[in-house]
Homo-oligomer: A and B are copies of this chain.
Amino acid sequence: MTDSALASWNDGPAKQAIIDFVAVATEPGPGFVPVVDRIATFDNDGTLWVEQPMPPQFDFVFRKWGEEIEADPSLASQQPYKAMIEKDAAFFQGVATQDPEVVATLEQGFVRSWAGTTPDEFEAQVREWCETVKQPTLDKLYVELVYRPMLELLEFLTENEFRVFVCSGGGRDFMRVFAEETWGIHKENVIGSAAGYKYSDGRLVRTHETLGGLVLGAGKPEHIFAQAGRLPAFAGGNGDVDIEMLEAAKFAMLVNHDDSEREFAYTAAAEKSLAKAKELGWTVVSMKNDWTTIF
């Protein structure tokens, strides 16, 4: 068992637990996981990249909504536009707590704004955003704010014949734009909230519907099963919306944001998952103690 891939991980209980699980999973004997069953799934926001001061996709979406309000000022008094203008943190916290009304309003908002768009048009918009827009407090492009230890973990799992999927409440097509170059993961291994598409006259166009609901909470194992055909052997997350995915996995790890110097320290919307980790013996990764470097 080589762990040289985990070069940015301090020797400690989290790294050891990962190495031990993979060793047992890949060697014949009790706990062996057949190659076909080696599915690993990771949340994105806060697990693979920075989610403060807000999940990066909101930055992308808010720019579009800003344009829409400019074209039609009456939108400013409607949700979710109103919450954006008023920087209504309580409203957006409703995603993390899965408030049904907030989730439905945002879902409709996301889908409406790009209905009628082709995949190429959407990809061009996301690509431009990736290449030009910086995270406001760390002054770096968002795609530069992916955690290096997590990229090493994805590689370590791949080397051990795990098939790695990202499974995020964020937009499937949004993540797929940068998945290959940023994570080394093919588009088909990205699971996320998505609009429907209609194919006619030789082209795909986004509809006003979402496909199978948002990928949050119970929606994570539901979408993982739909996409991958099995539940994960290894799963990683960082918040309450990841609980069901982590419960469904043989090995679960939870990234704990406890590094106010190098990243951010917060437990908001992760309280329940931290309690679950204690209860069920999940591996909690301390960004402060377990990672030698963050980016």
Residues of chain B contacted by A199 (CB below 8 angstroms): 218-219, 221-222, 225, 244, 248
Q: Contacts A212-B211, A212-B212, A222-B197: A187 and B229 contacting too (C-beta < 8 A)?
A: yes
Counting CB contacts under 8 A, is A119 at the interface? yes
Whether a CB of chain B sits under 8 angstroms from the CB of A202 is yes
Distance, CA A194 to CA B242, complexed state (A)? 24
A176 touches B229 (CB 8 A): yes
Q: Kindly identify, within residues 199 to 245 of chain A, every residue whose CB is under 8 Å from any CB belonging to chain B.
A: 199-200, 202, 204, 211-212, 218-219, 221-222, 225-231, 244
| Max chain B Cβ within 10 angstroms of own Cβ: one of A176, A198, A199 | A199
Set of chain B residues within 8 Å of A228, measured between Cβ atoms: 187-188
B212 touches A196 (CB 8 A): yes
Q: Kindly list chain B residues whose C-beta atoms are within 8 Å of the C-beta of A188.
A: 39, 163, 188-189, 227-229
* Chain B residues, CB < 8 A from A180: 36
Contacts from A to B (Cβ < 8 Å)? 36, 39, 119, 163, 172-173, 176, 180, 186-190, 194, 196-200, 202, 204, 211-212, 218-219, 221-222, 225-231, 244, 247-248
